[in-house]
């Protein structure tokens, strides 16, 4: 019974791990990069390389900018498809809700505006249709930073790790959710399969056969970072629980609407506009009052989020949230004021026990806190996850390639090619994107779209290369694609910081001397990656040469045993 | 003590704690000694030191940060320390000798 139970767990771990491992690799790697997404943004948009800034004055700086925001073209077109009759012209639409958001790591300020569409929705079950607009500004001057400049960290790598950039019917979220669920299953089944969790807790034998060494590393990175793997897969699911289990809009729709009403009554914050125009009092004065109230509660802090709901309406209100830098939880201690008078409407009460746990779990994953050591530990945990998945692939291939070679099958060759694509190919795509970021003309229209095209094209080329070069795997040898892609990666990882130096004048010695870590850090990590990739390539070359000898020796040994 | 020093101390505590726990295991003790010896002398002492190291690390993390954050930092120091100890044992096992001087002879 135990044996068959263990075998069934092994089957589950092996096959789901293989199929969803390709997805999990993307989640773990780009999740790890997202820990430093703001820093990657600085590298990618050199004109934003200055210190993080506090929330600027709303009255003098932000308000005129909010009033000038227009809905984004795409959002406007999508809203048009969903309503009856033509929309008002884009430049005449007036925003109803404003929001500005910053963190202790942001030199730039993201500003968002929501536009109520007056037209009747085509779908009768929808109450309103909205259009959205957003701009990024330099908060010191109010100067706009072009939306053509892609924030590679927070605007591309970060959403890639949870959506795969597949937005059709939210498909990416569902694939990632399934992968996260299977990750949890893989952790449990892995723990059941692994007979010597404690005895081999510290074991890595690099000089054994590749199959053994890969399994050691797989177990080591899986077991020591087990709490990290578990909590990140789990909290990732918690964050998107509303997508995976949309009970509020389906099963419990009536209760959900009643709750909304109750919340509105309790909080005194109007859900709907009154339809009567009203002026906006000084928001800066409200910010001062909010900061005074936080300080009085013993938690002084900066403003993280500043929003106006129903702007210009008698029901309008201003919400001020604290930047959560010293806690894991994402509560924000919101304070709300009547927009027309500045009168205090509500201070958010402390979270309930369940709410507090939820805030802690999501805060743990979203990490708005100020804690550089923990950030680096998260990168370590994420990369340990990548190593765990990659060594899982290698073990899968190593275990089977001799049998497959004997049987003459080529399936293993494609598993190996896919593994190369997801490991070195993904790294190549990332580094190529950074290189493209420094090479594309600065004023190129839709520059960010070109960067994304380069990323996907590089990844696709890496896939073609891996498929083309993987034939030796079917003969139980190592695919030269691994080595060649390692060399390509090393070259790209040297090229990126070099181009950064040439195009911006910021070389590592300068940025380190100035203590400008966002750029110095990424440059150093790229150089370290180049060194590791070159070392890996050299070792692969040695192994490629020694393998035929080793397998001949193994064959000889086997013949001796058989005789 | 400033927060950063507390955290450095917490990392060192958990690193040595993990190394002591590894040394209680025969196979790693032999790696550190560089020969195939018998049982691990002072195994109970090593285990006690190991547990004390990890516990000390937790206390230092709690001194440095709010408890809800300190728990996360501590769990991650354990992972980082275990990985480091495993790699030291693979490539430079002799480095751990000074944690158990009686292994030297």
- Taking only the tens place, the pLDDT of each residue in A64-106 is 999 999 999 999 999 999 999 898 998 888 899 999 999 999 9
List CB contacts (< 8 A) between B61 and chain A: none
Establish if B44 touches chain A: CB-CB under 8 angstroms. Answer: no
Q: Judge: A380–B89 Cβ closer than 8 Å, yes or no.
A: no
Rounded CA gap, A234 and A232, in Å? 5
- pLDDT at residue A543, as a whole number: 85
Which residue of A199, A228, A373, A383 to mutate against B (max B Cβ within 10 Å)? A373
The C-alpha of B96 sits at a distance from chain A's nearest C-alpha, in angstroms, of: 13
List CB contacts (< 8 A) between A205 and chain B: 90
Rounded CA gap, B47 and B24, in Å? 6
- pLDDT at residue A560, as a whole number: 47
pLDDT band at A261 (very low <50, low <70, confident <90, very high): confident
Least confident of A244-253, A333-342, A417-426, A468-477: A244-253
Whether the predicted interface score ipTM is above 0.90: yes
The C-alpha of A37 sits at a distance from chain B's nearest C-alpha, in angstroms, of: 20
Which carries the bigger pLDDT value, residue A251 or residue B11? B11
Rounded CA gap, A520 and A507, in Å? 8
Read off the pLDDT of residues A19-62 as tens digits, 9 standing for 90 and up: 999 999 999 999 999 999 999 999 999 999 999 999 999 999 99
* Burial of A500 from C-beta contacts in 10 A (0-12 / 13-18 / 19+): buried
Strand ranges across the sheet with A344-347: A144-145, A129-137, A109-117, A97-101, A303-309, A317-322, A335-338, A344-347
Q: Judge: B86–A378 Cβ closer than 8 Å, yes or no.
A: no
**Token pair for A279:** 């002026």
Establish if B91 touches chain A: CB-CB under 8 angstroms. Answer: yes
DSSP H or E stretch at residue B55: helix B43-64
> What's the rounded mean pLDDT across residues B15-32?
93
Minimal Cβ distance to A224: which of B7, B82, B89:
B82
List CB contacts (< 8 A) between A203 and chain B: 27, 86, 89
pTM: 0.91
Residue B28 has a CB neighbour count (10 Å cut-off) of 22
Minimal Cβ distance to B73: which of A221, A225, A373:
A373
- pLDDT at residue A426, as a whole number: 97
In Å, how far are A27, A232, A325 from A24, measured between CA atoms? 5, 12, 29
pLDDT band at A561 (very low <50, low <70, confident <90, very high): very low
- pLDDT at residue B105, as a whole number: 64
- pLDDT at residue A439, as a whole number: 96
Number of alpha carbons in the 13 Å side-chain half-sphere of residue A225: 28
The C-alpha of B64 sits at a distance from chain A's nearest C-alpha, in angstroms, of: 11
- pLDDT at residue A562, as a whole number: 46
Read off the pLDDT of residues A523-549 as tens digits, 9 standing for 90 and up: 999 999 999 999 999 999 998 887 554
**pLDDT, mean over chain A:** 91
The pLDDT of residue A299 is above 60: yes
Rg (alpha carbons) of chain B, rounded to whole number = 15
Which carries the bigger pLDDT value, residue A138 or residue A411? A138
pLDDT band at A2 (very low <50, low <70, confident <90, very high): low
Strand partners, A100: A111, A306
- pLDDT at residue A195, as a whole number: 80
In Å, how far are A178, A231, A237 from A241, measured between CA atoms? 12, 15, 6
Establish if B5 touches chain A: CB-CB under 8 angstroms. Answer: no
CA-based nearest residue to B72, from A39, A232, A182, A89: A232
Read off the pLDDT of residues A515-527 as tens digits, 9 standing for 90 and up: 999 999 999 999 9
- pLDDT at residue B6, as a whole number: 95
């Amino acid at each position: 019974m135990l044996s068959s139970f263990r075998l069934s767990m092994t089957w589950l771990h092996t096959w789901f791990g293989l199929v969803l491992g390709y997805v999990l690799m993307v989640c773990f790697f780009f999740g790890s990069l997202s820990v430093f997404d703001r820093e990657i943004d600085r590298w990618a948009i050199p004109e934003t390389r200055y210190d993080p800034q506090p929330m600027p004055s709303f009255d003098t700086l932000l308000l005129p900018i909010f009033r000038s925001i227009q809905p984004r073209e795409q959002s406007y077109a999508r809203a048009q498809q969903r309503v009856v009759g033509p929309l008002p012209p884009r430049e005449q639409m007036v925003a109803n809700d404003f929001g500005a958001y910053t963190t202790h790591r942001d030199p730039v300020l993201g500003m968002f505006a929501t536009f109520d569409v007056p037209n009747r929705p085509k779908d009768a079950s929808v109450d309103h249709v909205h259009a959205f607009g957003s701009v990024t500004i330099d908060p010191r001057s109010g100067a706009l930073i072009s939306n053509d400049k892609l924030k590679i960290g927070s605007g591309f790598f970060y959403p890639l790790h949870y959506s795969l950039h597949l937005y059709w019917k939210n498909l990416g979220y569902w694939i990632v959710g399934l992968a996260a669920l299977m990750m949890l299953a893989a952790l449990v089944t892995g723990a059941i399969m692994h007979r010597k969790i404690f005895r081999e807790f510290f074991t890595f034998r690099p000089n054994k056969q590749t199959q053994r060494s890969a399994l050691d590393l797989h177990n080591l990175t899986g077991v020591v970072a087990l709490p990290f793997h578990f909590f990140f897969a789990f909290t990732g699911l918690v964050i998107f629980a509303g997508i995976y289990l949309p009970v509020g809009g389906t099963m419990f729709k009536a209760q959900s609407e009643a709750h909304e009403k109750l919340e509105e009554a309790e909080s005194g914050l109007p859900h709907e506009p009154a339809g009567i125009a009203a002026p906006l009092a000084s928001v800066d004065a409200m910010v001062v009052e909010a900061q005074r109230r936080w300080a009085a509660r013993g938690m002084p802090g900066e403003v993280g989020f500043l929003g106006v709901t129903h702007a210009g309406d008698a029901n309008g209100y201003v919400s001020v949230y604290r930047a959560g830098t010293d806690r894991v939880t994402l509560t924000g201690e919101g304070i709300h004021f009547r927009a027309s008078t500045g009168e205090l409407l509500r201070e958010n009460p402390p979270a309930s026990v369940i709410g507090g746990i939820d805030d802690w779990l999501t805060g743990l994953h979203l990490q708005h806190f100020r804690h550089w050591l923990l950030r680096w530990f998260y990168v370590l945990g994420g990369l340990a996850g990548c190593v765990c998945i990659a060594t899982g692939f290698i073990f899968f291939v190593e275990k089977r390639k001799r049998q497959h070679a004997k049987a003459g099958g080529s399936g293993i060759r494609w598993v190996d090619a896919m593994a190369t694509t997801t490991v070195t190919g993904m790294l190549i795509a990332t580094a190529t994107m950074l290189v493209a970021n420094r090479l594309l003309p600065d004023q190129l229209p839709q520059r960010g779209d070109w960067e994304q095209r380069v990323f996907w094209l590089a990844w696709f080329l890496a896939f073609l290369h891996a498929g083309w070069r993987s034939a030796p795997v079917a003969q139980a040898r190592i695919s030269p694609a691994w080595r060649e892609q390692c060399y390509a990666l090393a070259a790209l990882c040297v090229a990126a910081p070099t181009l950064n130096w040439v195009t911006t004048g910021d070389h590592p010695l300068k940025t380190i001397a100035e203590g400008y870590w966002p750029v110095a850090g990424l440059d150093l990590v790229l150089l370290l990656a180049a060194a590791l990739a070159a070392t890996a390539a050299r070792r692969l070359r040695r192994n490629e040469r020694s393998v035929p000898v080793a397998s001949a020796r193994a064959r000889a040994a086997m013949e001796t045993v058989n005789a | 003590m400033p927060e950063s020093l507390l955290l450095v101390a917490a990392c060192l505590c958990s690193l040595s704690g993990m190394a002591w726990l590894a040394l209680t295991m025969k196979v790693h003790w032999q790696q550190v000694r560089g020969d195939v010896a018998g049982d691990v002398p002072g195994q109970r002492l090593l285990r006690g030191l190991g547990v004390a190291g990890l516990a000390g690390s937790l206390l230092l993390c709690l001194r440095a940060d709010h408890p809800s954050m300190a728990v996360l930092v501590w769990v991650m120091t354990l992972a980082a320390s275990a990985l480091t100890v495993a790699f030291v044992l693979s490539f430079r096992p002799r480095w751990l000798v000074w944690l158990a001087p009686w292994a030297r002879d």
